[in-house]
Structure 1
């Protein structure tokens, strides 16, 4: 378990947050390219793809700054719903609509790893998770040669109950130590069937960032950062396991009343 504290960053609004998220993501990219000439990233759904697109594709004038090297990106999903790729609940569809379809051709095309569409049709969530773990093994290494895949960056959201990925409070998956990708068949938030990266995979990433915005998050943020009772929440477990590798990008409304020290830049 990490002994250092996460970084809590707060900005006046989502636009300012996106402006600050951009250099963070690009610094992670550049460090990864120096290490192994590729950028291995996992993303969540929710509002994250919209903020990520705002951060990466344009500045205030609509003109890309120093551009991401998208042709070097390998994009995985931190979790995914067991639905067809064109379904309204699909995180792949959301990322496709908000970011992937809007990347200018001159910036290159990332390699994206959606879930297995044929496995979805079988309605077997464990098989779907196994297929996705095999995708990770092809990119990172066979499971018998490395203990865990080490992502260069994982971008996460935080639900109003403190869940992240599809790791929910009190669920057995929080204790999973061996699998890289796990099946969730009883999500308290629809749809019930999902797959998710496990907690050891998330906390082993080189960099981990949460994006949490809006006044609706302030109660759960107080629980995660300020209360002893909140220490068992999934997002708090990421803080504990990742330590100062974890950075929270929030707006002021989301952390109104939070006592944990925050700052305006890394």
Structure 2
């Protein structure tokens, strides 16, 4: 019997990757429109993995206003920006490099490669980027992103927040570093749960059928405490999952028909 979790979330499931990516693009553009109308800019954070590929439908979407975008990375690897392991490098290859040069370009906030050998300073510098964008404009204890787009690992991790790691308990820092990631590369920086859970909207994207067991645990058994289950924005109803039917095969959580 389908059920809902104590803290509400919305689950959209799609029979094909094309339907998923089109719906996701329309969802993002709606979030962008509302943010720009309200405050003149759209703040969004991306994770890596397969997520940038799922954003391809944005390239030719007529509603995208790239010049209003302020893009951050929800986590990043401590490697040069053009390295094959860099989330920024991946986003450039899969998304940003495909924006026609004739169009206005987004503002992209990357880590500072000068501090790759000093993880604490690397995290501090990226936190300062967030402070510059948010604290000086919004006067908030934590940044309130218009949208954070996340993926999920086979172990239930999201960003660089891994099961059983001490960073799951971080309550003060906006950006933390990890030097013992169980998934290579080991050195990374990541948003913390307070930042994730202050977002106006969060959308997880999962299209891989191999993650069916993980999605079942995250969505149907949140009491097991996998990192992705701990993402619960303070704004009720503003947590969304965009998944392929194959990835949601074992999920009992009730689906919602997608509409804007």
1:14 to 8, 12, 17: 17
- Report the secondary structure of 1:105's partner residue: coil
1:248 aligns with 2:241: yes
TM-score, with normalisation over the residues of structure 1? 0.91
List gaps (5 residues or longer) in structure 1. Answer: 58-63
The CA deviation string for residues 73-121 of structure 1, in whole angstroms up to 9 with x for no partner, is: 000000000011111100010001111110013431000011101111x
The CA deviation string for residues 182-210 of structure 1, in whole angstroms up to 9 with x for no partner, is: 01111110001100011010111111000
Distance 2:171 2:68 in 1: 30
TM-score, with normalisation over the residues of structure 2? 0.93
Distance 1:228 1:152 in 2: 25
Distance 1:140 1:227 in 2: 34
Structure 1 or 2: larger helix share?
A: 1
- Report the secondary structure of 2:231's partner residue: helix
Q: Is the 8 A contact 2:46 2:150 kept in 1?
A: yes
Give the equivalent residue in structure 2 for 1:34.
37
1:210 to 204, 223, 239: 204
The CA deviation string for residues 10-34 of structure 1, in whole angstroms up to 9 with x for no partner, is: 0011111001001100011011101
Cα displacement (A) at 1:144: 11
1:118 aligns with 2:120: no
Give the equivalent residue in structure 1 for 2:70.
74
How many residue pairs align between the two structures?
A: 255
1:86 aligns with 2:82: yes
Cα displacement (A) at 1:263: 2.6
The CA deviation string for residues 19-72 of structure 1, in whole angstroms up to 9 with x for no partner, is: 1001100011011101210011000001111111x2201xxxxxx342300011
Distance 2:70 2:137 in 1: 19
Distance 2:138 2:73 in 1: 22
Distance 1:247 1:104 in 2: 30
Deviates more, 1:204-213 or 1:144-153: 144-153
Cα displacement (A) at 1:134: 0.5
Q: Hey, which bits of structure 1, 4+ residues long, moved more than 3 A?
A: 142-145, 239-243
Give the equivalent residue in structure 2 for 1:265.
258
Distance 2:231 2:8 in 1: 11
- Shift of the 150–99 alpha-carbon distance from structure 1 to 2, 3 Å rule, reads same
Deviates more, 1:236-245 or 1:27-36: 236-245
Distance 2:24 2:233 in 1: 22
List gaps (5 residues or longer) in structure 2. Answer: none
Q: Is the 8 A contact 2:200 2:233 kept in 1?
A: no
Q: Is the 8 A contact 1:203 1:241 kept in 2?
A: yes
Question: CA RMSD for the aligned pairs?
Answer: 1.9
- Report the secondary structure of 2:237's partner residue: helix
1:56 aligns with 2:58: yes
Give the equivalent residue in structure 2 for 1:47.
50
